[in-house]
Structure 1
Amino acid sequence: MPDQHTLAEVERATQDRVQHLPLDFDASHALLSLYRAANAVRGRLTNSVLRPNDLTWTGFLVLWNLWIWNSMETREVAESVGISKGTLTGVAKTLGARGLIERIPSTVDRRLVNLELTAAGRELMERIYPEFNKTESAVVAAVKPTSLRTMTEALRTLVEVSEEE
């Protein structure tokens, strides 16, 4: 569901509310656009691809990571998806009950558990990822290829700067 206000309206209202503060409005507006874009794209992908396949956004991210990396320790999955280990436990139980992932105890440390896709999980990802990517392509279709590359480079920079510790 789209926000009831346009980005321009939100930017103006924000600037009106906090104009007396010493703020970097260009940074604020850029990241407001980033947040809004991320939420809009996530909503579109969820509604068009994930929900019809009975998946949540978080469940999809767990499956995608396991599909790409084959096997991951639960802590690594949680970090990669950006959720707590407790949240991952619930998501993994749901995906496991659907026969999409399995828990593999570590042979090195019995406290550790790896997650892996089952054959059904791999089949699901092979089936839905082309549809997911088709929607991704549709979302960026109005952006010129050179602008898309520039945007991608800028977003990579934001990720690198934000992940520095």
Structure 2
Amino acid sequence: MSMIVGWSGTVREHHTEMTGHHTLRSTEEAVGDRLGGLNLDFEAMWAVSNIYRASTAIRNHLEQTVLRDTGLTWTGFVVMWVVWIWGESETRHVAKEAGIAKGTLTGVLKTLESHRYVRRAPNPADRRRVMVTLTSSGERLMRTLFPQFNQEEAFVVKELDSQRRRALAASLRVVVQHLEGTVRP
């Protein structure tokens, strides 16, 4: 357990085991015991499993620190990030960029609208389509929040030197580009 400073400046206890009640080591040992006799690509399994566990731990950490006092969920933050970076966008594009279903986006946008962070309006070129934009308070929140978010990103990878950070980013980029270029039946 360690102490962390939240977005609002409050100090609180933080439990470092964030991905469930089993540690990474105990999970790897249990998987090895259960699957050791199978003909599997264990290197691929460990790589993908660690990507998943790392992303879950990072998401949990950011939700419990930076996002905790904002009223934003992880998905709400991602939606706001997409609209902040790309500007006014159609809902179908926002959903795709955020990696969520359009139906999920509808609920997220309703919540974000209730906080007055986003605004929806019909697309003037095709009124059946809906455009999303950040409000001025949504813009202010992202300008204020993102530097703090980035500080936590730096905390997440602080055990990696600059060379290892670049290598990690490059390796993950290769995985993403491979999957973006792959069409499987």
TM-score between the two structures when normalised by the length of structure 2: 0.86
Cα RMSD (Å) of the superposition? 1.1
Q: Distance in 1 between matches of 2:180 and 2:68?
A: 30
**Greater helix percent: which structure?**
1
Q: Distance in 2 between matches of 1:54 and 1:99?
A: 11
Secondary structure of the residue aligned to 1:127 is helix
Question: Which residue does 2:158 correspond to in 1?
Answer: 141
Alignment of 1:86 with 2:103, yes or no, is yes
CA positional deviation for 1:162: 1.7
Alignment of 1:70 with 2:74, yes or no, is no
Q: Distance in 1 between matches of 2:87 and 2:126?
A: 19
Q: Which runs of 5+ in 2 are unaligned?
A: 1-16
CA positional deviation for 1:16: 1.4
Q: Distance in 1 between matches of 2:164 and 2:69?
A: 32
Question: Which of the residues 134, 141, 164 maps onto 1:124?
Answer: 141
Q: Distance in 2 between matches of 1:54 and 1:97?
A: 11
Alignment of 1:16 with 2:30, yes or no, is no
Q: Which runs of 5+ in 1 are unaligned?
A: none
Alignment of 1:16-35 (within 5 A): 16-35=33-52
Aligned partner letter, 1:155: L
Q: Deviations over 1:101-137 (max 9, x none)?
A: 1112111111111100010100010111111001101
TM-score between the two structures when normalised by the length of structure 1: 0.95
Alignment of 1:111 with 2:152, yes or no, is no
Runs of 4+ in structure 1 over 4 Å off: none
Alignment of 1:158 with 2:175, yes or no, is yes
Q: Distance in 1 between matches of 2:101 and 2:158?
A: 34
CA positional deviation for 1:12: 1.9
Q: Distance in 2 between matches of 1:51 and 1:144?
A: 28
Mean Cα displacement is larger for which, 10-19 or 132-141?
Answer: 10-19
Secondary structure of the residue aligned to 2:66 is helix
Amino-acid identity (%): 44
Q: Distance in 2 between matches of 1:6 and 1:125?
A: 34
Q: Distance in 1 between matches of 2:28 and 2:57?
A: 17
Question: Which residue does 2:10 correspond to in 1?
Answer: none
Secondary structure of the residue aligned to 1:8 is helix
Alignment of 1:97 with 2:114, yes or no, is yes
CA positional deviation for 1:71: 1.0
Aligned length: 165
Q: Distance in 1 between matches of 2:107 and 2:164?
A: 39
